Each structure stands twice: as C-alpha cells, then as structure tokens.
Amino acid sequence: MSSLSMPAKCGVQSSSPWPRQSNAVAEALRSLRRNFSIWFGRARCKRRPGKTLLWKVALPALFLLTAPGLAPVLLAEQSEDAEYEAVAEEYVKGYLAAHPLEATALGFHEYDGKVNDYTRLALDAELSRLRRFDDRLAKFDLAKLSPRQSIDLRILQAAVKRDLFEMQEMAAFERNPMVYLRAADVNVYIKRNFAPLEDRVRSLTAVEAQIPNILTAAKTNLNEVLPKPYVELAIEMAKGGADFLKKDLVEAIASLK
C-alpha cells in the first residue's frame, strides 16, 4: 500500500485509519486496510521490540537462501509492487487535490479552506486524469503483483471506473444539482476539533467566500432541463444547508469573541 496508509495499533482492532467517506478513493483505501491491517497489526504485536529488525531482515534472507528458485520471482514481484505503489500514490494525491473538501475530511489539512473547482476546464482536466490512470492501472499484470497489491489494484481500478461512470454515463455535473450543494458543505469544520476553533472558522469562511463561484459553475454546467427528483431533493438539501448556517453554525462558534 502507498505511504499514505497508516499501520494498525497493537491491541486495537482498527478497521481503518480513514474516516468513513462516500468518495471512492477513501472507500478503496478503507476496504484494503480493513482486510489486511488487523492481521498485520496483530502479527507485529506478538513480536518483542528488540526482534523487529531481525524479523524484517533475517527472516526474508533466510527464506531466500532456503528457496533460491523463488528469489527471482520475489524480486520481480517486489519491483512490480513498487511500480504500482508509485502510481497508486500519484493517483490518490491527484484525487485529494481535485477534491479538497474530502481531503480535509480525511485529515489532509493542507487543503483546508479550499473548494472543488467545477469550471468546465477543471472538469475536463479531471476526466482526462481519470482516463489516463484507468489506462495506466490496466497495464499492470495481477499475476506479477503480490496478493495484497493485486487486491489493492482491483479496488483502485473499481474506484476510478466508478468516477468515470459518474462523469460520463451519469453526467452528474450536467444533470445533478446536488453535486454542487455538497461542494459547499462546511460541516466538517464544525463537527471535528482538528484545529483551534479560530483556525477552523477561518477556513470555513474561505469556503463560504467561494460559494458564488460554485453557483456560477452550476449554472454554466447544468442542463436547462433536469430530472424532477434531483431538483426536488436539491431544494430540500439547500433548505437544510441554510438552516445549518443560520442556527447550528452560529451556536457552534458562539464562544468566539
């Protein structure tokens, strides 16, 4: 897995280091960690601290010495794994940059105060990025990857294809106004105490200042005729968002002077 992942703590049956999110990449990483982190975490807990280096270095060396015929296969597998991890990490970093609100929710606070760019130019760039990574991921041979990374690859491929489906077949940015409402959701800055309240409010204010740009993009991108259920639900969401800003948000920051 890429260096963005975090190990499970000893004695803690952790399902994932990531908060539960609806976006595809977070779900992909969460699923992979759920499948593997508990087992590897328990394995680490059983080792004495002084034996960690021996476990990591001596055991693999002993295995290669006793099974020399497997050495080339393992080395090739490690090389393919390293190449895949580099591509996967590049994809995740690009995803976070294109979805800063979700990045903040995942704990990457260098994206605080930023919003998704929904201009046509930015959407076309994201679509090109997804197609490019879809092609790059398809070139990996599952048989040449370790079992863990072969599963990771399939999960990431599914995540990319889901986003492609949403942009191409579903035409979400042209047909679904709820996409733009979610982009202005500042709840993450209130419900999590990841920074002093003053800093979070500063980021929240920066997001709200960019709402006019989101609305302009929505007017430009959305079709003139939209599915009625989408419109009705978007109206309800907008009302709920307005109530949150007028009531819950005011109460949450009441302690500020």
Q: In angstroms, rounded to a whole number, what is the distance separating the alpha carbons of residues 128 and 172?
A: 16
pLDDT of residue 62: 47
SS (H, E, C) 127-154: HHHHHHHHHHHHCCCHHHCCHHHHHHHH
Q: In angstroms, rounded to a whole number, what is the distance separating the alpha carbons of residues 43 and 180?
A: 45
Give 42-87 pLDDT, tens digit per residue: 333 444 444 444 444 444 554 554 555 544 555 556 788 999 999 9
Query: Model-level pTM?
Result: 0.68
Nearest of 180, 30, 40, 54 to residue 105 by alpha carbon:
30
- Residue 98 in contact with residue 129, Cβ under 8 Å? yes
- Residue 145 in contact with residue 77, Cβ under 8 Å? yes
Beta carbons within 10 angstroms of residue 243's beta carbon: 11
Give 91-144 pLDDT, tens digit per residue: 999 999 999 999 999 999 999 999 999 999 999 999 999 999 999 999 999 999
Say yes or no to pLDDT of 30 above 60: no
Say yes or no to pLDDT of 215 above 60: yes
